[in-house]
Amino acid sequence: MIKPVRFSLNGKTTTVEVDEERMLLWVLRTELGLTGTKFGCGEGFCGSCTVLVNGRPERSCQLPMKSIGGKKIVTIEGLAKNGKLHPVQAAFVEHDALQCGFCTPGMILSAYGLLLENPKPTRQQILDHMEDNLCRCGAHHRIVKAIEAAAAEMRKGVRS
Amino acid sequence: MTRFTEEIFEHLGIDLPSEVSRRKFLKMLGGGIVVTVSANDLLALQEAPARRRFGRELPDDFNAFLRIGEDGRVACFTGKIEMGQGVVTSLAQMLADELEVSLDSVDMIMGDTDLCPWDMGTFGSMTTRFFGPPLRAAAAEAREVLLELAAERLGVAADELTVRDGMVSSTADSAQKVSYAELAKGQKIARRLDREAVLESVENFTVVGHPVNRRDAVAKVTGAAQFAGDIRREGMLYARLLRPPAHGATLGTVDASGIEAVDGATMVVDGELVAVLHATPDGADRAIATIEANWKTPELDLDEDSIFEHLLNVAPAGENVDRGGDLNAGMSISTAEARHTYLDGYVAHAPIETHTAVAEFSDGRCTIWASTQTPFPLQKEAAEALGLAEDKVRVIPPFVGGGFGGKTANRQAIEAARLAKRTGRPVQVAWSRPEEFFFDTFRPAAVVKIDAGVGEDGRITYWDFTTYFAGSRGADHFYDIPNHRTVAAPGGWRGGPGTHPFATGAWRAPGNNTNTFARESHIDALAAQTKIDPVEFRMRNLADKKMRRVLETTAARFRWLEAAAPSGRGQGIALGIDAGTYVGLAAEVDVDRATGKVTVQRLVCAQDMGLAINPEGATIQMEGCLTMGLGYALAEELHFSGGEILDTNFDTYEIPRFSWLPEIETVIIDARNDPPQGGGEPAIIVVGAAIANAIHDAVGARVYRLPMTAERVKAAMKRSERR
């Protein structure tokens, strides 16, 4: 059924009138023009479509619009502020924690979600948390290093 | 030397018919390639087969490679594409050094068939080796022409001028200066150099050879980087196509009456293409699900276990790749022999970005934005499919979300182009994950048989290697063996009709993963029979100085503990050559004796790749190869039943995950005075064998089939206990 859905998108109140059974991923990429959130597998196995919902990483390909009313959604486009990269983004650049870059938005939002919940994760906690985010290029090592560096940076209170 | 040519032939699908023609070909190139090869020779090497296949070649006008804008920014044009391998950075580095401009001033224009010089495709770790030299030559010529123009403008002799960051100034009076931007004014530079430009020597490089972070990183971490699926055109429709349940299935009746339930959906039939179109991608998904079709699927009794017997049955007679000495003589003096058959299953490319394209018709021309490794071959293919002249098709490859060889096939782009032509609207085709698994051009299942013997002194006396369907890349050994023969079934992964139940193709270092797994496993088997440490055994059988250095470096950095295998420690080593690069890998594994599950604890990899253009980028490629290689070594294997592909997503097709991560150490051996070699593929070829050898060292059992799943390791342990 087509219904207005009102939610916060990257800090701005947004209303879309769409079939409420549709998945957030497609509404983001099509109606809202935010193509940074990627389609990878369509079944929640790969993590490329990860966004933050009320601060928690969720698979947007599995999130019907009816479930997000009133919630705060953050996509990869909403992280940098005033042209300044978020510490997690900056750490991915600094550590070359990407190759083709297709899984990167999902990786960054998953990582950010972890750091919001646990500002000082152990290496094992990082591995566990990132387990279901897939990267085919094999950038895993650098992604872990980048998350460790971002955690340290964020703890300094640069910004969270 | 011949390895380069063979790789190119292999990629182009040209079989070298005989030793005679190969020699003739090399003669044609003026005696072939040595380390002092000039850019022109390398160019000729790429050009000759490419001309035959495509009738196209790289232009010799340097303006085709670069343009200096009025603002001083330098556009670098290349037919290569960026799919994560990092050439967006390393090519810019090469241009910056030769032209003497700052790296920051270089903008890369990649793969656009309207703007860039023709190129046969981005594969085979060939960008740096084969596009690098002509790019450098073009930049060097441009630099010298600009110096001539500056000399005239300033009234100073050219040899009294210096150039830095695009500013030419007099060495005597630095106030006398003129910038490249003022000289070129954004125009094509009409003048050509009447002599060969001198390339910068390695000592003068200020950008090349120094580590640089990726230039595309900021766009990729902010979501701004555009991939094919991110292209939005006015009035664009999203397509989903009706797909068969199995390869070889034929379409019977179609009932499309249900589509009316999906608002805004339309069905389009174009020849054998049956598609639904919708203004949203998920709308197209819902629409395709309403179409009911009857398919007739042929019976084919083949699966991932029975495929090997089938392959051996259909294999054509092999061709000698290499031979020397007398096998019988070698057999008569050996004191221990090993004869084994090695098996490797089908493996998917599985890039996270599925095959995607957007096509649009406008003013009689078709523009295709595609996730492709081969924009120019796609241009030709699309022109044929659309009935257009080639110059009426423009292919623009945005960033490509992983390729690994799989995106040299462009079926999705042809589908989009045909539907755009049929409907007159821009159309996006983005494959679902099941479509990606179905239409992939898989790394072929293959069989390698090796019979070899060794004398009491630990020297290999004979080596008889036959590979079926892996192709010849990596089949020829580099050991010092007096009596040897290497035979490869011709055709490599292409096979003939009736060979593979679905499409196969090039997969990161095609064939070499399989061949190196077999060769290096077998070398260890011989070492074990003679109770000699595997590193020592290889040293006894290696004359090649470069490879000895790679082996010594790998073992030293790994802190290899000398012992005959199985030592119980779980250490393994393997060597290989790919794309001109020599690579060694040592692995440390832990094997769970109860389940057979293998955990890789540590990988140490050393490679000699000549001059590393961007050492940071080369290191990342090595790490990527090693991490990706864990997949084919331990888990990746396509499950199928006849033409039906049973793996449709990442739930059953396992690729490496964070929890698999070993400690990884990489070493790039300093060989800066040798020409640069390939970097995107070599380190993946040794992963299977290094782990197989480490498993054997840990538990005394050898696994002869990839991937080395827990079940297979467990079964191997049981077999070795019985012995």
- For position A128, which CATH number holds? 1.10.150.120
A15 min Cα distance to partner chain B (Å): 18
How many domains is chain A partitioned into structurally? 2
B242 min Cα distance to partner chain A (Å): 18
Task: Classify domain B490-722 at the CATH topology level.
Answer: Aldehyde Oxidoreductase; domain 4 (3.30.365)
Q: What residues of chain B lie within 8 A of the CB of A105, using their CB? A: 221, 223
User: Contact at 8 Å (CB) between B380 and B389?
Assistant: no
A70 min Cα distance to partner chain B (Å): 23
Q: Comparing C-alpha atoms, which of B247, B253, B176, B190 is closest to residue B63?
A: B190
pTM: 0.93
In a shared domain, residues A74 and A91: no
Q: What residues of chain A lie within 8 A of the CB of B620, using their CB? A: 96, 99, 139, 142
In a shared domain, residues A104 and A59: no
> Which residue ranges make up each domain of chain B?
1-54, 58-208, 228-297+355-430, 490-722
On whether the B228-297+355-430 domain is CATH 3.30.365.10, my answer is yes
What percent of chain B stands above pLDDT 90? 83
DSSP class per residue in B523-555:
HHHHHHHTT--HHHHHHHT---HHHHHHHHHHH
In a shared domain, residues A16 and A61: yes
User: How confident is the model over B114-120, as a mean pLDDT?
Assistant: 94
Boundary (domain end) residue, out of A41, A58, A78: A78
For residue A63, what is the domain's CATH number? 3.10.20.30
- pLDDT confidence of residue B525: 98
- pLDDT confidence of residue B204: 87
Taking all residues of chain B, what is their mean pLDDT, rounded to a whole number? 91
Q: What residues of chain B lie within 8 A of the CB of A46, using their CB? A: 352, 650
- Nearby residues of B688 by Cβ (< 8 Å), 6 or more positions away: B513, B516, B517, B574, B629, B632, B633, B706, B708
**Tens-digit pLDDT profile for residues B295-337:** 999 999 999 999 999 999 998 887 778 899 999 999 999 999 9
Domain with A24 in it:
2-78
Sheet containing strand B356-362, strands side by side: B266-270, B273-278, B237-241, B427-430, B356-362, B365-370, B393-396
Cis peptide before B351 (omega within 30 of 0): no
- pLDDT confidence of residue B17: 34
Checking ipTM against 0.90, whether it exceeds it is yes
User: Contact at 8 Å (CB) between B580 and B591?
Assistant: no
Boundary (domain end) residue, out of A11, A44, A78: A78
Does residue A36 sit within a domain? yes
Element (H, E) at B356: strand B356-362
pLDDT band at B54 (very low <50, low <70, confident <90, very high): low
In a shared domain, residues A42 and A96: no
- pLDDT confidence of residue B36: 24
Please report the number of interchain residue pairs, chain A to chain B, with beta-carbon separation below 8 angstroms.
173
Q: What residues of chain A lie within 8 A of the CB of B232, using their CB? A: 33, 35
Considering CB atoms only, which of A26, A128, A136 is closest to B352? A136
Partner-chain contact B661 A141, CB within 8 Å = yes
Does residue A160 sit within a domain? no
Task: Classify domain B58-208 at the CATH topology level.
Answer: Aldehyde Oxidoreductase; domain 4 (3.30.365)
Q: What residues of chain A lie within 8 A of the CB of B223, using their CB? A: 34-37, 75-77, 105
For testing the chain A interface, which of B83, B218, B352, B373 should be mutated: the one with the most A CBs within 10 Å? B352
Boundary (domain end) residue, out of A21, A54, A78: A78
**Tens-digit pLDDT profile for residues A81-134:** 999 999 999 999 999 999 999 999 999 999 999 999 999 999 999 999 999 999
Q: What residues of chain B lie within 8 A of the CB of A48, using their CB? A: 352
Partner-chain contact B232 A33, CB within 8 Å = yes
B261 interface with A at CB cutoff 8 Å: no
In a shared domain, residues A91 and A114: yes
- Nearby residues of B226 by Cβ (< 8 Å), 6 or more positions away: A35, B398, B399
Report the interhelical angle of B512-529 vs B687-699 (nearest 10°). Answer: 30
